[in-house]
A and B are shown apart, each in its own frame.
Chain A
């Protein structure tokens, strides 16, 4: 079991608020690792820090053995860290296929730079086929030629997952992938994420405890900018501090 991502003493403040206040976190390769915590605990800030959208004020981040503390987003994507957003981020006036194609094309290690000006991209048959495969994988095979702006919210979230997967990340960051979904869509997404188990390392932020306990191999609990405990679902469920700080509130 190798540690893929390791955060040590990570800190970030906004004005006087320490949104991340000394986070130590280890994500092991191959696991689905859930990050839970009450509203305002700093979950999204932590995702921003790991994806490179924000840089920490203190602490270090190591990914697959290399120090990425000061790397910007696109260096981190090149190393294999891809994220999805809490608010859907897609290309609304492109088809689903074109959306995923752009995600496939972003893999510089496979295709080279996107600064290729002359060859028509439509001859890149391989890229298109791969994009179709990813869409089929998330259940969107029938909608490939629809505009992303025209499909349902649930389909857009699934599209986002397909795009994130198409970058072939070593670590996938999912920030509330079920946000705003109905029960059926939510169930579909849960199954999709479950289908990644064993092949894809995932760091998942999620509010719904049922889903977290179904999906996670490992859970870390973030309260007021700190990880108060990390462990298997069973261990976290039994932890008194967690019950008091978090689960207890929800059950009462």
Chain B
């Protein structure tokens, strides 16, 4: 059974009288351990797909199964639970909380998983060490470089040991050398067996993955293995 299974999935927005089909009858299977890229230009619907896969939004119609759960009509609490336990997010803009130090930022998902304080600290420190952030744990995001911020974000995404890692333009705000380092980190995670879904507009970055899906006007137009 696939880890992610989309069937006939559509998302329609209404703007006034106009219907905008952001996603139009998408069929997609993603297996456990895959490293998949979704590419497309801006407005192609890739972000909408990403939000649906990331359980931040619900589809208008179609079937959506993630980790064996039918989530097409799931409640807010169910989606939150999946986001918390099964999914890790890495964003272009890092999306760290500037008021919290590195450890607290990494431990944030554990707060909502109900993990006790002491255990949160231990696990957050371990996750920090795994992404090569042994020091600077008491610093706050504004005091860190972009690469360090993204590593904090990756540590946060991984701290609750999710099955899927979503990355939305993870190198977009980084210089090319740092970006390469982050992508190498994804390679290592993939090698360790993590399922990774990377969203980007850049075919060169997508080339890091093993399978690329191209989206245009809400439909999957091409699929290839680089």
- Decide whether A and B are members of one complex: no
